[in-house]
Amino acid sequence: MNSKMIQILSYILMGVSVLLAALFYTGVISEEPIIIWCYALAIAAAAAALIFPVFALIGDPKGAKVALVGILALGVVAGISYAVAGNEVTAAYATYGTTELSSKLVSTGLILFYLLASGAVIAAVYAEVSKIFK
């Protein structure tokens, strides 16, 4: 799509959102149509986030190699996170139905977050410090 079509689509989506908000605040509609609209927008955004990179990779096959290396690196970090994650369930959490698997997955997510956030901070600091020495 060209930029003019994207701009028109953006205005239409914004217009529908503003119209729904105005109808809600004036008491004409309940919150249900707004929630459905939010779901529709979220699904459309997720579909666009999955479809457009495929088109970009088809247009630039050399870029696919770089993307695959990034995905592989993320998979390795996720695998390391899963390997070191604990699966302990305390008695307090067991009352909520927490299983060893859910505990391991939550631990994996937390460790993955910590590793990726640390990497982002280190990369940002490195980028700024390297500018000083140039």
pLDDT at 97: 86
- Place 75 in a pLDDT band, splitting at 50, 70 and 90: very high
Dump the DSSP string for the chain.
--HHHHHHHHHHHHHHHHHHHHHHHTTSS-SHHHHHHHHHHHHHHHHHHHHHHHHHHHH-HHHHHHHHHHHHHHHHHHHHHHHH------HHHHTTT--HHHHHHHHHHHHHHHHHHHHHHHHHHHHHHHHHT-
What percent of the chain has a predicted confidence (pLDDT) above 70? 99
CA 12 to chain centre: 24
Tens digits of per-residue pLDDT, 32-70?
999 999 999 999 999 988 888 888 888 887 777 887 888
60 or 115, which is more confident? 115
